[in-house]
Amino acid sequence: MKGAELDRDTLNGMVCPSEKPDCILEPLCFPEQQVSSTSTPSLQSPGSEMLVCLFCPESVPLQQKDILLKHLLLEHKLVIADVRLIADLPKYLSYWRSRFLEQPVTEFCSVIKTNSNGPIEKQENYFLLCDVLPEDLILRERLQQKRLEEVLEQQQLEREDNSFHHSCMFCSEEFTGNRSSLLNHMAREHSFSIGLPDNIVYCKEFLETLQSKLDELQCLYCEKTFRDKTTLRDHMRKKSHRRINANNREYDRFYVINYLELGKTWEEVQSEDDGELVDDGHNDDWSDWRAHPMSAVCLFCHHQSETMDLIYTHMKESHGFDLHQLRTELDLRFYQQVKLVNFIRRQIHQNHCYGCQQKFDSREGILSHIQTEDHVMMLPDASAWDQPQYYFPTYENDALLCTLSDSDDGCEDSHSKDVPVIAEDVSELRTLKQTSILKQLLKNRNSCS
């Protein structure tokens, strides 16, 4: 298999050799988004199942799947794409473990060579197991279908269950019978709604999760912690925080809509449903549409600007870094600029000076060194940063990458200024007129007539 497209989560971890302790094994986000291992829906139920390595006896509990994924990467150089979208990871691993015993891994996985331009002894092959392989796609879909059937069966049992018993989280009133009585009570009496009862699954576990947060004196919406119950209650009432945080993916497994389509969040499913209701003939007015401002973050500090001109000016004036100058001097093409930005991001994140590779203990230390040693505009040899792994963002929401331009942009105007223009020599204009081929043609035409 060749040409498989790698997701950002995969490559952020895959590019790091095992001997380096600074490997980035998870996607990074700038502060405007909460960094979390559950940034996308995790629909796998917590349990006591064990995950077994595809190649060796190494095993970990399901809750510690990241340890096994790291083991596969560092010890066996294998990456599983979009793990978060696999409905039943234990069964998925069990299937491929048996298949790898039958045939070599290269029969199923894409092979990615890192440091391809370096010495042969420093080149490494990594293997990517993803749904580009039809067999993998079928397996993922089958596991998803089975999980959906289980969820719908569980939801039906809960809808028909009249032995439900739970107390209200806000007034401690006891409710027995159908779960809808408690959910409707909280919505009506306390203005707290987690959705329609028919849209929820694993309801009791959902309520216990919310109750545990309240017991820890944590606001359910902003998720701040308070010193006592009275302060928490007043905060949630005054700030209208009697609702759950929709961005907390911990709750996704409690809503049936998240199980409907493989690889899609409920927001994507909902947007598709809304799109079907739009009448294309009568809804062409986009005057009320408002775009979210795209904030770019400085390469060196946490400064943000909503326009790219401002962020470039900030980096030039505050840090002495001029990306436009580097692009011109080095004649960087678009993808070379992408790799350079991702390389600098990675080095700064790991507190390395990208110019001399010296390691520091803090962000402040590396920035002070870069300024005092005048390493801001000092780049290492292109072989250090012009590598395939830097095609992929260090930060998955890096708006700076969206504004890079190709060095060929506008080249026609710049080149036209350098091309010499030679004026026509008109000193012998009289002679030219007399010897012109046009004059001879006119004479011939007149003689013929």
Residue 306's pLDDT is 76
Residue 20, domain member (yes or no): no
Of 97, 113, 144, the last residue of a domain is 144
What is the pLDDT confidence band of residue 288, given thresholds at 50, 70 and 90? low
Instruction: Decide which of 446 and 390 is more confident.
Output: 390
**Closest residue by Cα to residue 346 from 305, 380, 304, 311:** 380
On whether both 259 and 357 belong to a single domain, the answer is: no
Of 95, 117, 144, the last residue of a domain is 144
Give me 412's structure tokens. Answer: 């026609």
Q: DSSP state, 132?
A: T
Q: Three-state DSSP class for 248?
A: coil
Give me 35's structure tokens. Answer: 């960094």
Q: Strand 304-305 vs strand 296-297: parallel, antiparallel, or unpaired?
A: antiparallel
On whether both 75 and 118 belong to a single domain, the answer is: yes
Residue 306, domain member (yes or no): yes
Residue 304's pLDDT is 85
**Got the DSSP string for 275-298?**
HHT--TTT----TT--PPP--EE-
**How many domains does the chain fold into?**
3
On whether both 167 and 257 belong to a single domain, the answer is: yes
Q: Strand 124-129 vs strand 78-80: parallel, antiparallel, or unpaired?
A: parallel
Residue 218's pLDDT is 93
Residue 124's pLDDT is 84
Helices 323-330 and 334-349: angle between axes, nearest 10 degrees = 130
Instruction: Decide which of 48 and 210 is more confident.
Output: 210
**Closest residue by Cα to residue 295 from 287, 284, 303, 306:** 306
Residue 7, domain member (yes or no): no
| Chain Cα centroid distance, residue 435 | 72
Residue 402, domain member (yes or no): no
Instruction: Decide which of 150 and 44 is more confident.
Output: 150
Residue 412's pLDDT is 42
**Overall average pLDDT of the 136-150 stretch:** 91
Distance CA 158, CA 199 (A): 11
Of 144, 174, 203, the last residue of a domain is 144
Give me 21's structure tokens. Answer: 């302790």
The pLDDT tens digits of the residues spanning 35-45 come to 333 334 455 55
Phi-psi group of 410: left, alpha or beta (phi > 0 → left; psi -120 to 50 → alpha; rest → beta): left
The answer to whether the beta carbons of residues 182 and 170 sit under 8 Å apart is no
On whether both 86 and 132 belong to a single domain, the answer is: yes
The pLDDT tens digits of the residues spanning 264-275 come to 665 666 566 555
On whether both 123 and 58 belong to a single domain, the answer is: yes
Instruction: Decide which of 160 and 295 is more confident.
Output: 160
Residue 127's pLDDT is 92
Instruction: Decide which of 214 and 3 is more confident.
Output: 214
Which residue type is seen at 204?
K
The pLDDT tens digits of the residues spanning 208-259 come to 999 999 999 999 999 999 999 889 988 988 888 888 888 888 888 888 888 8
Residue 231, domain member (yes or no): yes
Q: DSSP state, 131?
A: T
Burial of 194 (0-12, 13-18, 19+ CB in 10 A): buried
> pTM of this prediction?
0.50
Distance CA 347, CA 366 (A): 10
Distance CA 448, CA 9 (A): 83
Residue 253, domain member (yes or no): yes
Domain that holds residue 193: 161-271
Q: Where are the alpha helices (DSSP H) in 177-306?
A: 179-190, 203-215, 229-238, 266-276
Residue 262, domain member (yes or no): yes
Please tell me the least confidently modeled range out of 110-124, 262-276, 315-329.
262-276
On whether both 62 and 118 belong to a single domain, the answer is: yes
Residue 222, domain member (yes or no): yes
